[in-house]
Amino acid sequence: SQSLQALEQDGFVNRISYPVVPPHVEYSLTPLGVEVSEKVVALADWIEVNTPRVLANRDERAA
């Protein structure tokens, strides 16, 4: 909940609270949130592809 509040304060997510019982809250990405999510996905993809290279470098330097 604190993470979602921080993301809302930073402008990455929108929060809509519905006055119903039980309480219902919906979150969605703002345009800024969509932009940063694309960068995070690209970084995750890069890490997945390049992990063998990184580990090989680590092994070379440890030897």
Q: Give the CATH number for residue 44.
A: 1.10.10.10
Torsions phi, psi for 30 (to 5 deg): -80, 170
- For residue range 31-40, list pLDDT tens digits in order: 999 999 999 9
pTM above 0.85, yes or no: no
pLDDT, residue 14, reads: 98
Domain with 27, as residue range(s), is 2-62
- Token digits for 23? 């309480």
| CA of residue 8 relative to chain centroid, distance | 13
The total of structural domains in the chain comes to: 1
